[in-house]
Amino acid sequence: MSVKIKPLLLTSFLFVAACVTINVYFPAAEVESAAEKIVKDVLSSEETPSTDDQSNINEASMIRTIVHYGNPLNWLISSAQAQVDITISSPAISALTDKMKQRYSSSLKTHLENNVVGFNNKGFVEIVDAGQLGLKERQDLKKTVADENRDREALYREMAIANNHPEWEDKITEAFIKQWIEQAQKGWSYQDSNDQWVTKLESNNNQ
Amino acid sequence: MSYKNNTNHLFLQVLRWGCWLLLILLVSIVRAQTQPWKISGFNILAQKQDGVAITIDQFSAAGYNLQHIKYRCPKNIQIYPIHRCDNAQLSLKLNNQPYEVMLNTLFDANSRFWELELSSLNQEISLKANAASNAVKVMLQSIELNDFFSGNEGVLKDINGLITANLLANISDLTVQTEDPLSFNQFSYEYSEDVVFFELGGQASFQFDGLQQQLTVEIEISKGEMLFESLYADFSQFPLAIQLTVELNGDFDYDIKAQITNQQSMILDIHIIVDQQFNWLIPETKLDVKDTHHFNQQILNSILGIYGFGNTEMSGGFKARLLTDDGKLTFFQIDFNDYYVLNQKRKIQVDALQGQVFWSFKQPSQDSILNWQALLLAGMPIKAAQADFNLSKDVFKLLGEHVFPVFDGAIKITEFSADKLFADSIGMSLEAKIEPISLKLITEKLAWPEMAGTISGAIPGMVKKDSVIEFLGALQLQVFDGQMRVENLSLERLFGVAPVIAADVTFEGFDLALLTETFGFGQITGKLSGIINDLRITNWKTDRLDAHVFTVKTKGVKQTISQRAIDNISSLGGIKGAISKTFLRFFDDFRYNRIELSCKLHNSVCEIGGLKNQDNQFVIVEGGGIPKINIVGFVRTINWSEFISRLLNANYDN
C-alpha cells in the first residue's frame, strides 16, 4: 500500500465513523427549536414584538445557528439532520399547550411578573415568594402551580412519545428548561444551575 | 424522630411571659411575709409639692430580683402606719426589663391589711388584690399580643393580635383562670409562607393549675383564615370550637389533647406531644366527618384541587384514625358511611360506599371490606359489589375470588395482589377474566356507534411504573365472533391530566356482517383480520395508530359487499352515490375478492393505503365475479376527524 493511499483510507475511516455518529444523533437543535416554538407560543400573549431588527444578531438561537452551520462537520451531516422532523402538534400536545396558554394568560403571567412564581431549573414553575398574596390566593396559587407542572411533565413526555423516542424525555425536558429561562421576560425570577433564584436581567429579544 | 416546630403554644407563652404575671409576682412577694427577703438602698423622700416617694435599689425575695424600684404618691400623705394613695406610680426593672404601673394603694400596718389596684400607664393591664384574699384579678384591655412575645422571635415570630380578658389568679394554689371568656381579635401569626394564621377572632377561656402544671383551654374561632401547608380554612365559613388540655409529661414534654369541632361537619381529636423547644409529634389523630359535603366544600376540595382532583363532589360521612410512631404513620383506619364521591373530570364516582379500611405498617392488619351501590373507575361502571382485601405494610391483597358486575357481564378476579405500594414501581399479580359484556352497552357509554356482539377474555398481570400501568402479557378478547389480542397495553395518568391508553392490537376472524351491521354501514360479509400497532388514545380520543385491516378468505364464508357499503366506502374519498347513481343500482350486492385498508395516523392526519399502493393510488376493494367492482382511492392523506366523521356519521342515504 502506497504512502499516499494510507492517509486517504484513514480519512475515509474517519468519515465513515462520523456517519455512524449521525445514526445515534439526538436532534438537539431541532428539539430546542421545537421547545422554543412551544414556549414562545405559551408565553406569547400580550408580548411586545421587538422593533430592533439588529438585535437578532445577539439572539442565542441565532448564534447557535451560525455556530452550527459554521462547523464543517455539520456540512457533511446536514442532510441527515434536515430529515429530522420534530412533532410538536399531536392532539395531546395541543391540548396540553392550550391549557398552559390559558393558564398563563389568566393567572401565571401576573404571578411571574410579580415574582411570586418563577421558572425553576427542572423545567417547572415554582412559588418563589407568595408573601404578597392573601391566604386564599396562596392556596389557589398552589393549585395553579401544581396544574401547570402536571401539564409540563405530561408535555415533555408526550413530545418524546410523539416523536417515537420515549427515551428522549429527559433531553426534551432539558431543552424546555433552557427555553423557559431564555424566554423569561426581564424582571422574572428563575432558578440558575446553582439552585439560586435570580432575576432575569434582559428579555429574549426574539419574543 | 423528627420534631417539627410548633406554632400553637401561645397559651404556654402567655403563662410564661405574660406581663400581668409580673404584677402577680409583685403581689406574691409582698404576701410572702414568711419568706426571707432582702432590701438594699431603701430611701423615703417626702416633699410637700412632689408628694411622697420611696426608692429601693434592689429587692430580692422568692428567687426574684427587682431593681430600681420607685414608688411615688402624688400627694404628701403619711406612709406609716396607714398609707392610702390614689394614682400612685411604681416603676422597676426585672431582668433589665423596665416596668411602670399606676396604682391605688391602701396599707394599714395596724390591722395588717393592704389593698392594691395596679394598672399599666395605658390602662391596658390592671390588677386588683388585697390581703384578705388569695385571689388576684387581672384585667387586660385590647392588649397587643406582639408586646407579649417581643424578644422571643426565635420561637414564635410575627405574632399580632388584640386580647381583652378578665383573669383570676390565686396566689396560694398557683392557679389562673379566665373570669369570663376572653376575646381575641386580629390574631395573626406567620411561621412561614405555608403556615399562616391571619386575623383570627373569637373567644377563649382557660384554667391553669400551676401546681399540677395543667392547662385547660376552650377556644371558639369565628373569624380569620388559616393556611397550613395544603390546608386552607376560612373560619368565618368554617368556625371551630377547640377544647384542649395541656399537661406536663415527665420533666420536659407537654401532652396536649385537643378536640376541634366544626358543629356542622366534623370532630377532630388530636394528641400532640410538645417539647421545650416547641417541637411537636402527633401520636394519634381521630377525624369524624359526619357531613362530607360541607367538609369537602370548606376544607377538602382545596386540597384535592392541588392534586388534580378539584371540583370533587362528596356527601355522606367517614371516620379516620391515624397512629404515628416516631413521626411516621404506622396505622390508619377509615370507616365509610353512605359515602358518595363524584369527579366528572376524572371519571370517578362512588355511590353509597360502606365499610372499613385498615392499614398497619408494623404487623398484618385487620382485613378490610368495602361495598358500594355503584362505582365508576376511569369511566368503567361497576355495579353494586363488595371487595374484601387486606392492606398490610406495602402489600394489597384481594381476599378470595371477586366478581364485579360490569354492564351485563362481569370482571371476575381470581387473584389480585400488589406489592411495593409506596415505591415508584408497583408490582401487581393478577388472574382475572372478563365475562361476556355486551359491546352495545360499552359503546353506548363511550358515545361511540353502537356495536353488536360481546367482549370477553383473560386479563393479564400488571405492573405500575410511576404514572404508567403496564399490562404484562396479552389481553385476549372475543369480539365480533373473532379473536382480539391486545399487547403492550398500558394506561398512563389514568386519573390525571391527558390520560393515555396505549396498545398494540391484532385481531382475526371478525365477522364483517356483524361489524358492518353495527355501524349501519351497509352489509359486507366475510372475515376481517387486522393489525393496529402503536395505538395511542389520549384524553379518550385516538391520537396515533398504524392500522392495517384486510379480509381473509375463509372456507364456507361468502365475500359480498352491498351496494350501500360500496357507496359508503366511496364516500370516504368524497364520492357520493358511486353505485346508486348508475345502472349497477339494480344489484343488491357484489362479490369481492379482497378488501384492504390501512391508516397511519400521526399529527391528526391519516395516511391511507390499501391494496396495490402506487403513488397516490390504492385499491380498497378488489372485486370478484361479474359485475366486478373495484374501489380505488386517490387521496392518500385525510384529516383523522374527517375520516372518522365520514366513516361513522355520514348520512349515506343522502
Task: Walk across the sheet containing A125-127 and list its strands.
Answer: A125-127, A117-119, A189-191, A197-199
Rg of the Cα atoms in chain B: 41
Question: Could you tell me if B306 lies within 8 Å of chain A, comparing CB atoms?
Answer: yes
Distance (Å, whole) CA B226 – CA B267: 18
User: Pairing state of beta strands A189-191 and A117-119?
Assistant: parallel
Enumerate the residues of chain A whose CB falls inside 8 A of the CB of residue B193: 127, 129-131, 138
For position B276, what pLDDT does the model report? 76
What residues of chain B lie within 8 A of the CB of A134, using their CB?
198, 225
Give residue for cell 438561537. Answer: A61
Q: Are B578 and B570 in contact (CB under 8 A)?
A: yes
Strand partners for B55: B43, B70
pLDDT at residue A62, as a whole number: 36
CB atoms within 10 A of CB A1: 6
- Grid coordinates representing B368 are 378490610
Span A50-58, average pLDDT: 35
Count of CA atoms in the C-beta half-sphere (13 A) of B135: 9
Instruction: Decide which of B73 and B7 is more confident.
Output: B73
| Residues 6+ positions from A82 with CB-CB distance below 8 Å | none
Q: Following CA atoms B452, B458, B464, B465 in sequence, which dihedral angle do they give, to the nearest 10 degrees?
A: -80
Confidence of residue B2 (pLDDT cuts 50, 70, 90): very low
More confident position, B423 or B369: B369
Q: What are the grid coordinates assigned to B104, written together?
A: 391605688
What pLDDT does residue A147 have?
Answer: 94
Q: Do B193 and A90 touch (CB under 8 A)?
A: no
How many whole angstroms separate alpha carbon A183 and alpha carbon A204? 5
Which has more confidence, B505 or A32?
A: B505
Question: In this model, does residue B586 exceed pLDDT 70?
Answer: no
Distance, CA of B28 to chain centre = 51
Per the rule left: phi > 0, alpha: psi between -120 and 50, beta: everything else, B314 is: beta
Provide, as residue numbers in chain A, all residues whose Cβ is less than 8 Å from the Cβ of B188: none
Mean residue pLDDT across chain B: 83
Span B588-608, mean pLDDT? 85
A139 and B232 within 8 Å at the Cβ level: the answer is yes
B498 close to A (CB below 8 A): yes
| pLDDT at res. B532 | 95
Most A-contacting residue of B197, B543, B601, B640 (CB-CB within 10 A), to test interface: B543
Q: How far apart are CA B448 and CA B455, in angstroms?
A: 15
At residue A151, the pLDDT reads 93
The H-or-E segment that residue B272 falls in is strand B266-274
- pLDDT score, position B613: 74
3-state class (DSSP) for residue B128: strand
DSSP alpha helix (H) spans, B407-539: 439-445, 512-519
Question: Please, what is the angle between helix A91-103 and helix A28-42, to 10°?
Answer: 40
Chain B partners within 8 Å of A91 (Cβ): 538-539, 541, 543, 604
* Residue type at A106 in one-letter notation: S
Q: For residue B529, what are the β-bridge partners?
A: B550
Sign of CA dihedral B232, B235, B238, B240: positive
Q: In B36-81, at which residue ranges do the beta strands (DSSP E only) sit?
A: 37-47, 51-61, 64-73
Give the tens place of pLDDT for each residue, A165-191: 888 899 999 999 999 999 999 999 999
B142-172 pLDDT, tens digit each: 887 776 665 554 444 567 788 888 889 887 8
Q: In A59-121, which ranges are E strands? A: 117-119
Out of A92, A127, A147, name the one closest to residue B498 (CB): A92
CA distance B147 to B144: 6
Question: How far is A2 from chain B, CA to nearest CA, in Å?
Answer: 50
Q: Where are the domains of chain A?
A: 27-44+53-199
- Hey, are the CB atoms on B493 and A154 less than 8 Å from each other? yes
Examine the pLDDT at B12 and tell me if it is beyond 60.
Answer: no
Interchain CB distance below 8 Å, B603 and A87: yes
| Residue B73, beta-bridge partner list | B52
Q: Which helix (H) or strand (E) covers residue A38, if one does?
A: helix A28-42
What is the enclosing helix (H) or strand (E) of A82? Answer: helix A72-82
Q: How many inter-chain contacts (A to B, CB under 8 Å) are there? A: 74
Kindly state the average pLDDT of the residues B570-575: 64
State the nearest Cα–Cα gap between B607 and chain A, in angstroms: 15
- Rounded to the nearest 5 degrees, what angle is found at the Cα of B205, between the Cα atoms of B204 and B209? 140
* Residue numbers in A near B498 (CB within 8 A): 92, 95-96, 154, 158
For residues A178-201, one letter each, b for 16 or more C-beta atoms within 10 angstroms of the residue's C-beta and e for the rest, the string is bbbbbbbbeebbbbeeeeebeebe
Cα angle at A147 between A144 and A151, to 5 degrees? 135
Residues belonging to chain A with any Cβ–Cβ distance to chain B shorter than 8 Å: 87, 89-92, 95-96, 99, 127, 129-131, 134-136, 138-139, 142-143, 146-147, 150-151, 154, 158, 161-162
Q: Residue B492's closest CA among A102, A161, A175? A: A161
Residue in the block written with cell 402551580: A145
H helices, E strands: number in chain B: 9, 42
Flag whether pLDDT at A12 surpasses 60.
no
**A36-50, A77-91, B275-289: which has the minimum mean pLDDT?**
A77-91
Q: Which long-range contacts (CB under 8 A, 24 or more apart) does B571-578 make?
A: B571/B646, B571/B650, B571/B652, B572/B620, B572/B633, B572/B638, B572/B643, B572/B646, B572/B647, B573/B633, B573/B634, B573/B635, B574/B635, B576/B654, B578/B631
- DSSP percent split of chain A into helix, strand, coil, nearest 5: 65, 5, 30
| CA–CA gap between residue B344 and residue B379 (Å, rounded) | 9
Q: Does B302 touch chain A (CB under 8 A)?
A: yes
Q: Which residues, at least 6 apart from A24, have a Cβ–Cβ distance to it below 8 Å?
A: none
